[in-house]
Copies of this chain bind each other. A is one copy, B any other.
Amino acid sequence: MSKNLTSRAEDYSKWYNELVVKADLAENSGVRGCMVIKPYGFAIWEKMQAQLDKMFKETGHENAYFPLFIPKSYLSKEASHVEGFAKECAVVTHYRLKNAEDGSGIVVDEDAKLEEELIVRPTSETIIWDTYRRWIQSYRDLPLLINQWANVVRWEMRTRLFLRTAEFLWQEGHTAHATKDEAMQEAEQMMHVYAEFAEEFMAVPVIKGTKTESERFAGAIETFCIEALMQDGKALQAGTSHFLGQNFAKAFDVKFANKEGKQDYVWATSWGVSTRLMGALIMTHSDDKGLVLPPKLAPIQVVIVPIYRGQEQLDVISEKVNPLVKELRSKGISVKFDSRDTHKPGFKFNEYELKGVPVRLAIGQRDIENGTFEVARRDTFEKQSVPADEVVERVISLMDEIQKNIYKKALDHRASHITEVDSYEEFKKVLEEKGGFISAHWDGTMETEDKIKEETKATIRCIPIDVKEVVGECIVTGKPSPYRVLFAKAY
């Protein structure tokens, strides 16, 4: 398979699909809509998981595990929740196969029909709140701060690797609180945790905000979100955190005795990020040569490629490289020394560019003579000859420089793609010609939102949390509007 990618300018969508496969991140499986996450892609996801898990624990959360299956009747208990998910549920109806009597192979054993069909969880609010009823009696049992790492299934008709797959991996936090305020604070806190993770680790700038009613999670009173902007000017919802009010507590009858001994329904939140973040990571930083990874999430941070002819020369090079590898590792940097004799240096250079390794060191005959390494950074393609005894220091500072540089690049891109408009004409023109976030006045009605969506495919991504109250007129209806909201076409 050719390592050359379609360019982003030519076809952004095709570029993305090719990159995911060629950089060994993921591929489609034989099961409709379900992906295989390949080792290199999974290693990035593991780094994300480890950091997020640390941040969840630092904010007082514990992990637990709830069943994959949800009895159909549970899903129906919260009305708007079932409405949101029923149309994309995988349903288990039988529990046994048998040999077909006509010898045509194995078939479902119709005698082994389940009494109640089971849904493969699309999200776990219902099974978890059914459990919380047993765990919560008194205010002493609150807050209950739990997270689960799990696979979930939503039967999507159109799927794309990482961005929208029938099965995906995620974490889902589910917390229970004694008061409305505390639950609201939790939901808001987790939006901030997600934003910090996206910006500090993924180097992806995000806008924090709340969703409009029509974009809210099915069953939520308020949905907080972080929205990122991709290179093609489309937005991507990177994480959501929901204040669920007492909806699930009422649906599953979860009450607690407060300090005064009075019974009250519990207040809830849920929040999640998924393997979709991989899509955001890829589309924020990568270029026509391949992946660009932030050093904090790169499985291989430094690759060392020897340029040599014959074993003897490799031995000389290895003598210089081996202590360097050891020292870099002792500093916590992950290093790969690729001395394979089956591939040429040029092939390896391309491969590690494609895979987004932040720093490449090369060493050949001339470097041996000069006591240097060639240090190349992936983000800017800059190359430098660095004295051997300064390489460790240079690599360490590059980790930081690259992390900051790609963040800044993404931030600049976003800054130049937020446009304030004051008319629907201008709105459509900017959307068409430039894309990005469009900041505009809106009359607050679902009708106007729907009309804009139908006519332009743009949706309200969020009402930013730091929104300024500046009265204006809705770009569509001219009705009064208290502040601007952010529109965009979105993944």
Binding site for B on A (CB under 8 A): 27, 29-31, 34-39, 42-43, 45-46, 62-76, 82, 86-98, 105-108, 117-120, 127, 130-131, 134, 140, 146, 150-151, 153, 155, 167, 169, 342
Closest B residue to A275 by beta carbon equals B65
Residues on B with C-beta less than 8 A from A64 are: 36-39, 42
- A39 contacts B146, CB within 8 Å? yes
In the complex, given contacts A43-B63, A90-B118, what are 13 additional A-B residue pairs having Cβ atoms less than 8 angstroms apart? A29-B66, A30-B74, A31-B70, A31-B71, A34-B67, A39-B146, A72-B107, A75-B106, A82-B97, A89-B97, A90-B92, A90-B94, A90-B95
Distance of A47 from chain B, by nearest CB (Å): 11
Q: How far is the CA of A444 from the CA of B152 in the complex (A)?
A: 46
- B89 contacts A65, CB within 8 Å? no
Closest B residue to A62 by beta carbon equals B39
- B93 contacts A76, CB within 8 Å? no
- A30 contacts B130, CB within 8 Å? yes
Report if A105-B76 is in contact (Cβ < 8 Å); known contacts: A36-B67, A66-B36.
Answer: yes
Q: How far is the CA of A95 from the CA of B91 in the complex (A)?
A: 6
For the complex of A and B, the 8 pairs showing the least CB-CB separation, nearest first, are: A34-B67, A39-B62, A86-B97, A37-B65, A95-B155, A91-B94, A31-B67, A93-B93
Q: Which of B63, B72, B118 is A46 in contact with, Cβ under 8 Å?
A: B63
Residues on B with C-beta less than 8 A from A75 are: 97, 106
Residues on B with C-beta less than 8 A from A150 are: 151
Residues on B with C-beta less than 8 A from A120 are: 68, 92, 120
Q: How far is the CA of A35 from the CA of B74 in the complex (A)?
A: 16
26 A-B contact pairs sorted by A residue (CB < 8 Å): A29-B127, A30-B74, A30-B127, A30-B130, A30-B131, A31-B67, A34-B67, A35-B67, A36-B64, A36-B65, A38-B64, A39-B146, A42-B65, A43-B62, A45-B65, A46-B63, A72-B108, A73-B105, A82-B97, A86-B97, A87-B96, A90-B92, A90-B95, A90-B118, A91-B108, A108-B117
Distance of A355 from chain B, by nearest CB (Å): 14
- B63 contacts A39, CB within 8 Å? yes
- B34 contacts A62, CB within 8 Å? no
Distance of A172 from chain B, by nearest CB (Å): 14
Q: How far is the CA of A152 from the CA of B120 in the complex (A)?
A: 12
Q: How far is the CA of A72 from the CA of B64 in the complex (A)?
A: 31
Q: Which of B30, B62, B127 is A42 in contact with, Cβ under 8 Å?
A: B62
Residues on B with C-beta less than 8 A from A74 are: 30
Distance of A150 from chain B, by nearest CB (Å): 8
- B95 contacts A93, CB within 8 Å? no
Distance of A30 from chain B, by nearest CB (Å): 5
Q: How far is the CA of A27 from the CA of B31 in the complex (A)?
A: 33
Residues on B with C-beta less than 8 A from A39 are: 62-64, 146
Residues on B with C-beta less than 8 A from A87 are: 96-98
Q: Which of B31, B67, B119 is A69 in contact with, Cβ under 8 Å?
A: B31
Q: How far is the CA of A159 from the CA of B46 in the complex (A)?
A: 32
Distance of A217 from chain B, by nearest CB (Å): 18
Closest B residue to A69 by beta carbon equals B31
- B117 contacts A29, CB within 8 Å? no
- B36 contacts A106, CB within 8 Å? no
Residues on B with C-beta less than 8 A from A90 are: 69, 92, 94-95, 118
